[in-house]
Structure 1
Amino acid sequence: MKLKNTLGLAIGTIVAATSFGALAQGQGAVEIEGFAKKEQFDSARNFKNNGNLFGGSVGYFLTDDVELRLGYDEVHNVRSDDSRKIKGANLARDALSHFNCPGDMLRPYVSAGFSDQSIARWSGGRNRHLANVGTGGKLYFTENFYARAGVEAQYNIDQGDTEWAPKRGMGVNFGGGSKKVEAAPVEAAPAVCSDSDNDGVCDNVDKCPNTPANVTVDANGCPAVAEVVRVQLDVKFDFDKSVVKPNSYRDIKNLADFMKQYPQTTTTVEGHTDSVGPDAYNQKLSERRANAVKQVLVNQYGVGANRVSSVGYGETRPVADNATDAGRAVNRRVEAEVEAQAK
Structure 2
Amino acid sequence: MKLKNTLHLVIGSLIAATSMGALAQGQGAVEVDAFAKRYFTDSSRDLSEGNLFGGTIGYYLTDDVSLGLSYGEYHDIRSENDTGRKNIKGNLASLDATYHFGNLGDALRPFVSAGVAHQNISNVPARTGRDHSTFANLGAGVKYFFTENVFAKAGVDAAYNIDANETEWLAGVGFGVNFGGSSKPAPVVEPAPAVEPVAVAEPEQVIETVRVELDVKFDFDKANVKPESQADIKALADFMNQYPQTTTVVEGHTDARGTDAYNQKLSERRANAVREVLVNQYGVDASRVNAVGYGESRPVADNASDAGRAINRRVEAEVEAQIKQ
Identify the TM-score tier after normalising by the shorter chain.
0.7 to 0.9
The 1-side partners of 2:11 and 2:211 are apart by 54
Q: Which residue of 2 aligns with 1:60?
A: 59
Amino acid at match of 1:64: D
Per the TM alignment, residue 14 of structure 1 is displaced from its structure 2 partner at its CA by: 4.1
What are the ranges of 5 or more consecutive residues in structure 2 without an aligned counterpart? 185-201
Larger Rg: 1
**Map of 1:306 onto structure 2:** 287
Alignment partner, residue 176 of structure 2: 170
**CA 1:277/1:39 → structure 2, altered by over 3 Å: closer, same or farther?**
farther
Could you tell me how far apart the structure 2 residues matched to 1:167 and 1:251 are? 43
Asked whether the equivalents of residues 271 and 334 of structure 1 are also in contact (C-alpha less than 8 Å), the reply is yes
Structure 2 residue aligned with 1:253: 234
Instruction: Give the letter aligned to residue 77 of structure 1.
Output: D
Aligned to 1:29: 29
User: Counterpart in 2 of 1:16?
Assistant: 16
1:61 to partner: Cα distance: 2.3
Change in 2 beyond 3 A, CA 1:57/1:286: same
Deviations 1:139-179 (A, max 9, x none): 36576xx34312131231533424131121334534x4689
Aligned partner of 1:155 among 154, 159, 163 = 159
Cα pair 2:31 2:176 within 8 Å, conserved? no
Classify 1:80/1:280 alpha carbon distance in 2 versus 1 (closer, same or farther; 3 Å).
farther
Gaps of 5+ in 1: 180-216
In the TM superposition, what whole-angstrom CA distance separates every residue of 1:2-31 from its partner, at most 9, and x where no partner exists? 564455334422443367543654333333
1:69 aligns with 2:68: yes
Q: How does 1:173-252 map to 2 (within 5 A)?
A: 173-174=179-180, 176=181, 225-252=206-233
In 2, Cα distance between equivalents of 1:267 and 1:99: 35
CA distance in structure 2 between the partners assigned to 1:304 and 1:7 by the alignment: 47
- The structure richer in strand per residue is 2
1:292 aligned residue: 273
* More off after superposition, 158-167 vs 286-295: 158-167
Partner secondary structure for residue 252 of structure 1: helix
Per the alignment, residue 278 of structure 1 pairs with: 259
1:27 partner SS = coil
Give the structure 2 partner of residue 90 of structure 1.
92
Q: How far is the alpha carbon of 1:138 from its aligned partner?
A: 5.5
Q: Counterpart of 2:59 in structure 1: which amino acid? A: Y
2:246 maps to a residue whose letter is: T
- Give the structure 2 partner of residue 80 of structure 1: 79
State the one-letter code of the partner of 2:275: K
Deviations 1:242-271 (A, max 9, x none): 221111111111111221232211111112
- Tell me the CA shift for residue 137 of structure 1: 1.4
Provide closer, same or farther for how the CA distance between residues 99 and 70 of structure 1 changes in structure 2, counting only shifts above 3 A. Answer: same
Structure 1 residues 325 and 112: alpha-carbon distance in aligned structure 2, compared to 1, 3 A threshold: farther
Amino acid at match of 1:338: V
| TM-score between both structures, scaled by the size of structure 1 | 0.74
Report the 3-state secondary structure (helix = DSSP H, G, I; strand = E; otherwise coil) of the residue aligned with 1:161: strand
Instruction: Tell me, in whole angstroms, the C-alpha distance in 2 between the residues paired with 1:277 and 1:43.
Output: 54
Q: Which amino acid aligns with 1:136?
A: V
> Alpha carbon RMSD of aligned pairs, Å?
3.1
Measured in 1, the distance between the counterparts of 2:228 and 2:178 equals: 35
Query: 1:292, 1:126 → 2: CA distance?
Result: 49
Contact (CA 8 Å) 1:34, 1:171: kept in 2 or not? Answer: no
Q: Which amino acid aligns with 1:241?
A: K
Match of 2:109 in 1: 108
Q: Percent identity among equivalent residues?
A: 55
Task: Give, in whole Å, the separation in 1 of the partners of 2:157 and 2:272.
Answer: 38
Deviates more, 1:92-101 or 1:147-156: 92-101
Could you state the TM-score of these two structures normalised by the residue count of structure 2? Answer: 0.78
* 2:133 partner amino acid: N
1:307-326 aligned at under 5 Å gives the runs: 307-326=288-307
Task: Give the Cα separation in 1 of the matches to 2:183 and 2:171.
Answer: 34
Task: Pick one of 112, 117, 120 that aligns with 1:118.
Answer: 120
- 1:263 is paired with a residue whose SS is coil
Deviation at 1:128, TM superposition (A): 3.8
Change (3 A) 1:230 1:14: same
Deviations 1:271-317 (A, max 9, x none): 22223333333322222221121121112222111111111222222
- The count of corresponding residues between Structure 1 and Structure 2 is 298
Q: Which amino acid aligns with 2:86?
A: R
After superposition, the C-alpha distances for 1:165-222 in whole angstroms (9 at most, x for unaligned) are 1121334534x4689xxxxxxxxxxxxxxxxxxxxxxxxxxxxxxxxxxxxx9xxxx8
Amino acid at match of 2:58: G
| Paired letter, 2:31 | E
2:55 maps to a residue whose letter is G
The CA deviation at 1:240 is 2.6
The SS at the match of 1:226 is strand
| SS across alignment from 2:89 | strand
